[in-house]
Amino acid sequence: MSYYLSPANFKGAYRGVPSKSITQRVLFLSTLLDEFVVYNPLWANDIKETITVLTKLGFEVTGKEDAFFIKKQRKIESAEISLLGSATTLRFVIPFAFLHLQKLTINLSENLQTRFNDIYGDIFQKNDISYQNKGNKIIISGSLKGGKYQIPETVSSQFISGLLLTLPFLKEDSELILPNKTPSFPYVNLTVELLEELGVIIEKKENSYLIKGQQKLQKNSFIVENDYSQAAYFFVLKELGENIIINNLKEDSFQGDKEVVKILTAISSAKKGDKPLLVDLYHYPDLAPILFVYTALSKKEIIFKGLNNLKHKESNRLQLMITNLRKVGQRLEYQEESLHFYPSILKGGIKVETANDHRLIMSLAVLASFLKEGLYFDSLEGVNKSYPNFFSDFTILGGKISVT
């Protein structure tokens, strides 16, 4: 089944959806108490994978949309899990599982085998941990202890967050030494702020975190705030002149992707004849696809840099976005991790390539709505990974989709 997204006008209130990043972090932390409630959680494929992992670790998770109720069922010594698409779950569970058991076997899908960019082997080698990465399977066993953990250069901040979610609850104190540069670092800040909101103390130094051991959560419930990265598509619709009202987003949020508001303002303020605006997306890779679309539609000369991490997402987002934008007539120059946009006349009517990547599908859906000839899609199911209701919200506000 394929789909055609045609030109549309949008009007109405966007109500927001819960944050996937926060939901996943809180779900892991919820297992540190006998009972815990997560209010306003996201319900999506990645969250289903996280919940499946928690059940394998000996916990019962009930509820669906308004709240998750997490309850300890049994103590286990070893478990075997299978992961299909959630790299976040994988990067979190490897250290975190040691808080609950002695041995964990993780079966990996082909997609995760190519995405993992493993650094835990080097980290655990200096501890009494048996760690085997066999490509399609990871086997870990032993007892994780506090101490000094040196993070090497990495393509994902999630390895740092995984350790931050684990180290405060070991018996010993720890020091987590950071690399000189880490992409998406605002997600690390989000992890720290979340821990502190639950009563866990993390001491930030210039290039490290000092973490006391034997800490306890001080709350047995948490309300998940709504997500800025998912709202970005609707912020772009509003910036393009559509009559969209955006509600239910926390203004003082620690989500890094709230930067989308400032970036859109900067791009919209760029004037013809000025020196091209330089936008660094090193810490905001999830915003890149929709910001590329906004730049193309607003016909601005913009240079984006810090894009290398886009190659390591659910797809090679950088290459696919370049391919699709060039197909619709966007003039681009790519060199040394920078992508230069020039004002161009766009024309649709093509079939886009998305690799079923949720952020590409949602971004290109916005693009299709402003092209006279629309765009064709092989599948729209990829949005189920992070935002199953995207096309429901999209069409309620005016988006047009037909089956071809």
- Please tell me which residue in 227, 286, 357, 393 is annotated as part of the active site: 286
User: Which residues make beta-bridge pairs with 243?
Assistant: 11
Q: Which of 349, 353, 400 is nearest to 379 (CA)?
A: 353
DSSP-based three-state secondary structure for 279: strand
CA 140 to CA 102: how far, in whole Å?
A: 8
Distance of CA 365 to the CA centre of its chain: 19
Q: How far is CA 33 from CA 10, 13, 20, 27, 402, in A?
A: 45, 38, 21, 11, 47
Q: Which residues contact 60 (CB under 8 A, 6 or more apart)?
A: 70, 71, 72, 73
Helix (H) or strand (E) holding 174: strand 174-177
Task: Report CA Rg, the chain.
Answer: 22
User: Which residues make beta-bridge pairs with 175?
Assistant: 148, 210
Q: Is 34 in the active site?
A: no
CA 78 to CA 262: how far, in whole Å?
A: 47
CA 178 to CA 208: how far, in whole Å?
A: 5
Residue 176 neighbours by CB distance under 10 Å: 20
Q: What would the DSSP string read from start to end of 79-125?
A: EEEEESS-HHHHHHHHHHGGGT-SEEEEEE-HHHHHH----HHHHHH
User: Which residues make beta-bridge pairs with 277?
Assistant: 302
Catalytic residue IDs: 286
